[in-house]
Amino acid sequence: MIEKNQGTRNSHLDSFWSKSSEELLHELNAKENGISENEANLRITKYGPNRLKGKNSSSAYLLFFNQFKNPITLILIAAAVLSSLLQDRTDAIIILLIVVISSCLGFWQEYGASNAVARLLKMVQVTVTVIRDDHEIAVSTESIVPGDVVVLSAGDIIPADCILLNSQELFVDEAAFTGESYPVEKQKGKLETNTPLSKRSNTLFMGSSVISGKATALVIATGLNTEFGKISARLRNNAPETEFERGIKKFGFLLMQITLILILVIFALNVFLHKPVLDSFLFSLALAVGLTPQLLPVIITVNLSTGAKKMAAQKVIVKRLSAIENFGSMNILCSDKTGTITQGKVKLYKAFDINDTENERVSNYALFNAALQTGFKNPIDAAIITGLKSEGQQLPAILDEIPYDFIRRRLSILVELQGFKMITKGAFQEILAICNQVQTGSDSIEPLTSELKQTLMQLYEQYSRKGYRTLGICWKTTTTNSISKEEESSMIFLGFVTFFDPPKESAIAAINNLNSLGVKLKIITGDNALVAESLAKQVGIETPIVVTGSSLRGTSSEALVTKVLQADIFAEVEPSQKEQIILALKKTGQVVGFMGDGINDASALHAADVGISVDTAVDVAKEAADLVLMDQDLDVVANGIKEGRRTFANTMKYIFMATSANFGNMFSMAGASLLLPFLPLLPKQILLTNLLTDVPETTIATDNVDEEYIKKPHRIDIGFIKKFMFIFGLLSSVFDYCTFAVLILVLKANEQQFQTGWFLESVVSAALIVLVVRTRLPFFKSKPSKALLFSNLIVISFVLLLPLSLLGDIFGFVRLPFQFYVYMVLIVAVYVFTADFVKRWFYKKMASGY
């Protein structure tokens, strides 16, 4: 359901790129210094919140009615209605009540889960800076309205369709609209009306992101009126399925095939044996309901939302629920070193010249470059300012700048300092590449000869081997008061600025913790190989295998796969290579996580099976991630992995419980219906059996998980589930037939006694077998959760008392002799201990790798 005000459309939306910013400001009754907060509130009432999907006031009702979308449930309701018209209205009412109760149970679980997840997502909302009441403030993207003036810098997600008011070296990633993988340069201007979307250089589109530079822009369209809004439905449909989702879909097809074959065969045989057609039809449908784990979608949602809440307690916020299963299955984690392995608190070590001497001019020029730039704020510049700026120190006026970007890997400013001076700071190799001279003394400048280059390289390598991040500084005099990228040439190399970011004390323990969980950490960094190797040795990787970005270029796909598997560290990596590394690792069958927080990490976060970011990350990284860490620490990741595995384990428990018990009961029921002159259970009794066995299983999300299971990653395996279903289903049937023998041959039971006896044994054994199937250990060595244990005990107590009550009469149950209960206890006890033995044999012989 869409907010009704989202449809509001104004004339300024039509071809707004062909109008000047002044015209649009006038049409929107806005100013370059923004609108007021009061005006923003009025406009949000008019235009609606800036989102593609409105808050759905009827979501609870839709969620409830969705519980009835199952085709079998609909057929069952129709059959019950037909039954009431033809014969027994009481039975029809009972069947309808059971269906409604089962659906309500599913609704209650799923509604609670969806609300819990919505609350968690509010913790990681993306904000944007706007100018309101003449002040820059941060607001949620939903609060943006037409007429707002937004302030953008590198890493920001563009919150709405906008027209540029001004910009500086602004490059934007808008691949979602144009398919163009390279950033697009944007600048203020007025275009022709028929300019295609890909050529609208004065326009910013909602959902694109700022790669470099800065800008202010006027919001023109929000929500569904944006270009992104027009294609949002298609984009949402393209969300890739996780491996777990694909597995569950295959599992669903398997059950559907078994169910269809079973009900068709049983219905045909019962009619052939001259049993009532309607009863046979209802019986076949009830069998289908009994075999189908109807609550599987609900159980998965509840397990995932419960896992999300537990992960939130571990400082991991889940944005995409289905990623939890992949998080637990993950066996390779790729991460940058800063803030995860290192403290993330970059400190200045030394500013020095070609003579390896601390130099005041190098320090001052580095400070001017860091303190005066107005683009993307970063730890390097903060460290320079903290380490070099003295109290009361006056800085020169900045005239122009070229912001940092990940292609040039440098930043230039122009200051007035005894003339116009251009000062550039950046990666050493990039600085060296644009220099043809070097400052060898306070007033001495020499050509950059190969010998001097060698001296500079030796200094760079010397400090890098010690683990210091080393940048270069250069300068030149210009004749104009503006600069462009083309002028970054023929410069004078001035000196070096070095930094250190010491490893966290907890890093070694955290890496060992990940290794003990079967997760291999691979470090991806833009730093040089020597710095990366030094850090690896400090955190306990004794002989790290380092692969550089340059060595990956031109590598064949086969060789690339081998390289990425062997490497411990990827150093000097370009932004585009991060995604290449992730995809190569995935080709080997690994479940790959990627942890990133930078502007250039979005594509790698999308490519990974699990994209992980941090709450302090730039917007584009946080938006692309599946999980957001509230604390940037590897221990937090390890704790999150454990919760992911617990969630996966509890989901698989339900599948094992439901399929083995249901398949066994239905196989027994199908066989008995052919051997007996009456139906072994009435349709209403089958549905009640299914409902009662589902009740304890709704608490499975609370269950404890054995520590042994958590120690390694697991993946869904349909072949394994099939084996489990058939072996434990047939084992269940063996003891069902033992119950049949006691009822028919020993107790000489009539129709109602048989149905009552088998109902009791079926539900009691299913409730107790849950305690066996839930663990790989002997059942008495693994403690279930209180909710699971008590719900099972309540169901068993209810079932034992049911034949003695008025409700039992309604369902057609009768009192049984005490002798039956003795036999039932023996049968169920032998079944439980036999199942426990078979389970251990099964895991040892058939599922050692699962």
Active site residues: 336
**Sole residue written with tokens 């510049």:** 381
SS3 labels along 208-254? CEEEEEEEEEEEEECHHHCHHHHHHHHHHHCCCCCHHHHHHHHHHHH
Which residue in 292, 29, 38 sits closest to 147, CA to CA?
A: 29
Which residue in 164, 165, 184, 166 sits closest to 174, CA to CA?
A: 184
**How many residues make up the chain in this entry?**
850
DSSP state of 390: P
| Pairing assessment for the beta strands 149-153 and 127-132 based on DSSP bridges | antiparallel
- State the first-to-last Cα distance of the chain, in angstroms, to the nearest integer: 43
Q: Is the dihedral of CA 523, 529, 532, 537 positive or negative?
A: positive
- Contact between 625 and 319 under an 8 Å Cβ cutoff? The reply is yes
- Contact between 47 and 145 under an 8 Å Cβ cutoff? The reply is yes
Q: What tokens appear for 701 in the block?
A: 């999300």
- Contact between 220 and 160 under an 8 Å Cβ cutoff? The reply is yes
Alpha-carbon Rg for the chain, nearest whole angstrom, is 34
| Pairing assessment for the beta strands 149-153 and 161-173 based on DSSP bridges | unpaired
| Pairing assessment for the beta strands 520-524 and 445-447 based on DSSP bridges | unpaired
Q: What tokens appear for 354 in the block?
A: 């070609």
CA dihedral 611, 246, 835, 747 (to 10 degrees): 140
Q: What tokens appear for 297 in the block?
A: 């979608």
d(CA 126, CA 701): 30
Across 680-717, b (16+ Cβ under 10 Å) vs e yields bbbbbbbbbbbbbbbbbbbbbbbbbbbeebbeebbbbe
- How do the residues of the chain divide into helix, strand and coil, expressed in percent and rounded to 5? 55, 15, 30
The amino acid occupying position 114 is: S
Which residue in 253, 257, 281, 251 sits closest to 267, CA to CA?
A: 281
Which residue in 322, 343, 312 sits closest to 634, CA to CA?
A: 343
Which residue in 161, 266, 356, 113 sits closest to 672, CA to CA?
A: 266
CB burial class (10 A; 0-12, 13-18, 19+) of residue 13? middle
Task: Give Dmax (Cα) for the chain.
Answer: 114
The amino acid occupying position 148 is: D
> What are the C-alpha distances in Å from 486 to residues 408, 483, 489, 490, 846?
11, 8, 7, 10, 66
H helices of 466-590, where? 507-516, 529-538, 549-552, 557-566, 575-587
d(CA 811, CA 27): 72
- DSSP letter string over 573-621? --HHHHHHHHHHHHHTT--EEEE--SGGGHHHHHHSSEEEEETTS-HHH
Give bridge partners of residue 348 from the DSSP assignment: 499
Residue 487: CB atoms within 10 A of its CB come to 18
